Chain A
Amino acid sequence: MTAFNYPDIFDVAVIGAGHAGCEAALSAARLGAKTLLLTQDLDTIAAMSCNPSIGGVGKGQLVREIDALGGEMAKIADLSMLCGHMLNTSKGAAVRSPRAQCDKKMYQLAMKQVLERQPGLLIVQGEAASILTRAGRVAGVMTVRHTRYRAKTVIITAGTFLRGIIHVGLDSFPGGRYNHPPSSHLSASLKELGFKLGRLKTGTPMRLNGRSIDFSKCERQDADSPPAPFSHFTGGIKNPQLPCWLTRTTAKTAAVIRAGLHNSPLYSGKIKSIGPRYCPSIEDKVVKFPHHGEHHLFLEPEGFNTAEYYVNGLSTSLPEETQAEIVRSVPGLEKAEIMRAAYAIEYDYSDPGQLDYTLETRLVPGLFTAGQVNGTTGYEEAAAQGLIAGINAARWALGGGQLILRRDEAYIGVMIDDLVSKGVDEPYRIFTSRAEYRLLLRADNADLRLAPHGFALGLLDPALKENFEAYRGAVEEHKSDKRPARALGRGPWTTENARVEAAIEKTYAIYIERNRKQAERMKKFEGLRIPADLNYSGLKALPNEARHKLEKNRPLTLAQAGRLPGVTPADIQLLWVLLEQRRKARE
Chain B
Amino acid sequence: MKLPDTSETIAAQATPPGAGAIAVIRLSGPSAFAAAAAFLSPPPAAPAHRMAYLLAAKDGTKLVDRVVTLFYRGPASYTGEDTVEISCHGSPYIIRTILNLAVKNGARIAAPGEFTLRAFLNGKLDLAQAEAVGELIASASAGAHRAAITQAEGAISGEVRSLRTGLVALLAEIEARLDDSYGDIPALEKRAFLRRAAVARKKAQALAAGFEAGRGIREGVKVVITGAPNSGKSSLLNSLLGYDRALVSREAGTTRDTLEAELDIDGFLVRFTDTAGLNARPATQLEKAGMRRASSAMARADTVLLVKDASIAETPSDRRAEKEVAASAAAAETIRIFNKADLPVKRRSTAGAETISCRTGKGLARLRGRLVARQKNIFAEGAQAIVTSARHFEAFFEAARELSALEEIIKNKTPGLELAAEHLRGALGALASILGETTPEDVLADIFKNFCVGK
Q: Which A residues contact B (CB, under 8 angstroms)?
A: 51, 56-59, 87-88, 90-92, 94-95, 97, 99, 276-280, 285, 288-289, 292, 295-296, 298, 312-313, 315, 422, 431-434, 436, 438-439, 511, 514-515, 520-522, 524-525, 540-543, 558-559, 562-563, 565-566, 568-574, 576-578, 580-581, 584-585
Q: How far is the CB of A432 from chain B (nearest CB, A)?
A: 6
> Which of B28-36, B176-184, B197-205 interfaces with chain A?
B176-184
Picked from A97, A313, A584, A585, the residue with its CB within 8 Å of the CB of B455 is A313
Are the CB atoms of A574 and B419 closer together than 8 Å? Answer: no
Chain A neighbourhood of B138, CB < 8 A: 540-542, 574
Cβ-closest 8 pairs across A and B = A541-B138, A570-B141, A433-B175, A56-B181, A277-B448, A278-B454, A289-B452, A573-B4
A559 to chain B: closest CB distance in Å? 7
Docked CA distance A542–B436 (Å):
16
Nearest CB of chain B from residue A520's CB, rounded to whole Å: 8
Contact B178 A91 (CB under 8 A): yes
Query: Which of chain B's residues 416-450 have a Cβ closer than 8 Å to chain A?
Result: 416-419, 421-422, 425, 433, 436-437, 439-441, 443-444, 447-448
Determine the distance from Cα of A368 to Cα of B183 in the docked complex, in whole angstroms: 37
Cβ contacts A to B, 19 pairs, < 8 Å:
A57-B178, A57-B180, A91-B177, A95-B418, A278-B454, A280-B452, A312-B182, A313-B455, A432-B175, A433-B421, A525-B3, A541-B138, A543-B141, A569-B111, A574-B138, A577-B117, A577-B130, A580-B130, A585-B127
Contacts of A313 in B (CB 8 A): 455
Complex CA gap A88/B113 in Å reads 47
Q: Which residues of the partner chain B approach A573 to less than 8 Å between Cβ atoms?
A: 4, 111, 113-114, 117, 137, 141
B1 touches A562 (CB 8 A): yes
Are A279 and B436 touching (Cβ within 8 A)? no
Decide if A58 touches B120 in the complex (CB within 8 Å).
Answer: no
Q: Which residues of A contact B140 (CB under 8 A)?
A: 570
Asked if A566 contacts B436 (CB within 8 A), the reply is yes
Asked whether, in the complex, the Cβ of A296 is within 8 Å of the Cβ of B182, the reply is: yes
**CB-based nearest B residue for A507:** B416
The docked-state distance in angstroms from the alpha carbon of A431 to that of B441 is: 11
Interchain CB contact under 8 A, B455 and A522 = no
**Cβ of B206 under 8 Å from chain A:** no
Do the beta carbons of B178 and A432 come within 8 Å of each other?
Answer: yes
Residues from chain A with a CB closer than 8 A to the CB of B417 are 91-92, 95
Contacting pair A580 B121 (CB below 8 A): yes
- Report which of A58, A292, A565, A574 forms a contact with B436, defined as CB distance below 8 A: A565
How many angstroms between the C-alpha atoms of A420 and B351 in the bound complex? 70
Q: How far is the CA of A517 from the CA of B118 in the complex (A)?
A: 20
List A contacts of B111 (CB < 8 A): 569-570, 573
The B interface is mostly helix, strand or loop, or mixed, namely helix
The distance from the CB of B9 to the nearest CB of chain A, in whole angstroms, is 13
**Structural contact, B179 and A431, CB atoms closer than 8 A:** yes
| Chain B positions within 8 Å of A522 at CB level | 1, 3
Q: Are B137 and A315 in contact, CB atoms less than 8 angstroms apart? A: no
Contacts of A296 in B (CB 8 A): 182, 184
| Nearest CB of chain B from residue A530's CB, rounded to whole Å | 14
The docked-state distance in angstroms from the alpha carbon of A566 to that of B443 is: 16
Complex interface: chain B residues within 8 A of A91 (CB):
177-178, 416-418
Min Cβ gap B424→A in Å is 11
Complex interface: chain B residues within 8 A of A570 (CB)? 4, 111-112, 137, 140-141, 146
State the total of A-B contacts with C-beta under 8 angstroms: 160
| Interface presence of B327 (CB below 8 A) | no
A58→B179 contact, CB < 8 A:
yes
Residues of B within 8 A of A563 (CB): 1, 437, 439
Q: Are B419 and A92 in contact (CB under 8 A)?
A: yes
With A433-B440, A571-B141 known as contacts, the answer to whether A279 contacts B422 (CB < 8 A) is no
Residue of A nearest to B423 (CB): A511
Interface residues of B in 254-298 (CB under 8 A from A): none
Residues B4 and A524 in contact, CB atoms below 8 Å apart: no
Shortest Cβ distance from B425 into A: residue: A436
Residue of B4, B127, B134 touching A584 (CB-CB under 8 A): B127
Contacts of B433 in A (CB 8 A): 569
When distances are taken between beta carbons in the complex, the residues of chain A under 8 Å from B251 are: none
Given A94-B418, A541-B137, A577-B134, the answer on whether A292 and B121 have CB atoms closer than 8 Å is no
Asked whether A92 lies within 8 Å of B418 as measured between CB atoms, the reply is yes
Instruction: Name the contact of B181 in the complex, choosing from A99, A422, A521 (C-beta under 8 A).
Output: A99
Let me know if B135 is at the binding interface, CB within 8 A: yes
Q: Measured between alpha carbons, how far is A566 from B440 in the docked complex, in Å?
A: 14
Q: Determine whether the beta carbon of A95 is less than 8 Å from that of B5.
A: no
Count how many chain B residues have C-beta atoms less than 8 Å from C-beta atoms of the other chain: 56
Given contacts A541-B138, A581-B127, A581-B130, contact A312 B455 (CB under 8 A): yes
| B326 within 8 Å of A (CB atoms) | no
CB distance from A245 to the nearest CB of B (A): 13
- What is the chain A residue whose CB lies nearest that of B137? A574
Are A524 and B5 in contact (CB-based, < 8 A)? Answer: yes
Asked whether A565 lies within 8 Å of B439 as measured between CB atoms, the reply is: yes
Interface code B335-371, partner A: CB below 8 Å = 1, 0 otherwise?
0000000000000000000000000000000000000
> What is the bound-complex CA distance between A279 and B454, given in angstroms?
5
A511 to B406, CA, bound (A): 13
Partner of B422, one of A59, A439, A571: A439
Measured between beta carbons, the chain A residues less than 8 angstroms from B61 are none
Q: Are B3 and A278 in contact (CB under 8 A)?
A: no
A313 to B133 Cα, complex, angstroms: 58
| B252 at the A interface (CB under 8 A) | no
Give the nearest-CB partner of B433 in chain A.
Answer: A569
Q: Which residues of A contact B179 (CB under 8 A)?
A: 57-58, 431-433
Residues on A with beta carbons closer than 8 Å to the beta carbon of B112 = 570
Contact B1 A278 (CB under 8 A): no
If A278-B448, A279-B454, A573-B4 touch, whether A580 touches B418 (CB-CB below 8 Å) is no
B439 contacts which chain A residues (CB < 8 A)?
Answer: 563, 565
Give the residue among A94, A279, A285, A540 with the most B Cβ atoms within 10 A. A94
| A residues in contact with B380, CB < 8 Å | none
Instruction: Tell whether A521 pairs with B452 under 8 Å between CB atoms, given A57-B181, A433-B175, A433-B178.
Output: no
Give the chain A neighbours of B133 by CB distance below 8 A.
577
Q: Are A562 and B3 neighbours in the complex by a CB distance under 8 Å?
A: yes
Complex partner residue of A541 from B142, B178, B441, CB under 8 angstroms: B142
CB distance from A556 to the nearest CB of B (A): 15
Tell me the bound Cα distance from A434 to B445 in angstroms: 12
Within 8 Å CB of A578, what residues of B? 134
Q: Which residues of A contact B440 (CB under 8 A)?
A: 431, 433-434, 436
Chain A CB count within 10 A is highest, among B5, B146, B433, for B5
**Is A577 in contact with B182, judged by CB distance below 8 angstroms?**
no
B117 contacts across to A, CB distance below 8 A? 573, 576-577
A91 to B422, CA, bound (A): 14
**Distance of A51 Cα from B441 Cα, bound (Å):** 26
Contacts of A542 in B (CB 8 A): 138, 142
- Residue-wise, chain B 88-132 has the 8 Å CB interface mask toward A (1 for contact) of 000000000000000000000001111001001100000100110
Q: Is B70 an interface residue (CB 8 A)?
A: no
**B130 and A584 within 8 A (CB):** yes
Q: Which residues of B contact A280 (CB under 8 A)?
A: 452, 454
Contact: B444 with A569, CB < 8 Å?
A: no
Residue picked from B1, B114, B414, B437, most chain A C-beta under 10 Å: B1
Residues of B within 8 A of A59 (CB): 181
Additional A-B contact list (6), CB under 8 Å, known A57-B178, A570-B112:
A525-B3, A541-B138, A563-B437, A568-B436, A569-B3, A577-B134
- How many Å from the CB of A564 to the closest CB on chain B? 8
The CA-CA distance from A434 to B425 in the complex, in Å, is 12
| B453 is an interface residue with CB less than 8 A from chain A | yes
A101 vs chain B, min Cβ distance (A): 12
With both beta carbons as reference points, the residue of chain A lying nearest to B143 in the complex is identified as: A541
> Which residues of A are found within 8 Å of B413, using beta-carbon distances?
none
Contact of A51 among B5, B177, B414, B455 (CB under 8 A): B455
Complex Cα spacing A438 to B418, Å: 8
Q: Does B2 contact A (CB under 8 A)?
A: yes
Instruction: State which residues 1-50 of B face A: CB under 8 Å.
Output: 1-5, 7-8
